Amino acid sequence: MDFAEFATAKQRVMGKAFPSAGDDLDGMAIDFDAHLWRSPLIKEVSVRRTGDTNNLITATCQTVPGCSMAELAAELERVWLRDLRYSYFEAHVITAGEQGVHLDAVTQIAPDGFYVTASIVAETAQSATGETT
């Protein structure tokens, strides 16, 4: 999915449903923390609720040394699709830059249920010389 398709899907969900809140959103934030920590490619995780319906949960991660951008992108997508998304609907887009990988996502629990918007930013480890590993 490209960014334009993702943005359209996200706006459609946000326009027809309501954002997750309270215990449901707390539970999703806990799931983000738990599942990202379980990844063998990630060594540090910080998850927070933002209060912004456009991005309800933000996770920031540091990778283990030697992790490539392609491996990192595949791992974030795997965690999102297998462990974090709701089964009714999801859309996501992954972008990679010089310093890491960014996954933006939206998921909805049921046709008339709430949604969660989220982002995961995973920064690649830096070597002692400053090179990305």
Q: Looking at residue 33, which CATH number applies to its domain?
A: 3.30.460
Residue 83 covered by a domain: yes
92 has pLDDT over 90: yes
Could you tell me which of 49, 56, 44, 51 has the C-alpha nearest to residue 124? 44
| Mean pLDDT, residues 105-128 taken together | 89
Question: Is residue 82 included in any domain, yes or no?
Answer: yes
Q: Is residue 68 part of a domain?
A: yes
For the chain, the domain total comes to 1
Look at 27-31, 61-65, 77-81, 125-129 and tell me which has the smallest mean pLDDT: 125-129
Task: Tell me the whole-structure pTM to 2 decimals.
Answer: 0.90
Residue 54 placed within a domain: yes
- CB half-sphere exposure, 126, CA atoms < 13 A: 6
Residues spanned by the domain of 24: 3-123
Residue type, 7: A
DSSP annotation of 111 reads T
| Distances, alpha carbon 98 to alpha carbons 43, 64, 68, 70, in Å | 19, 16, 11, 12
Residue 39 lies in a domain: yes
Return the percentage of the chain with pLDDT > 90, whole number: 87
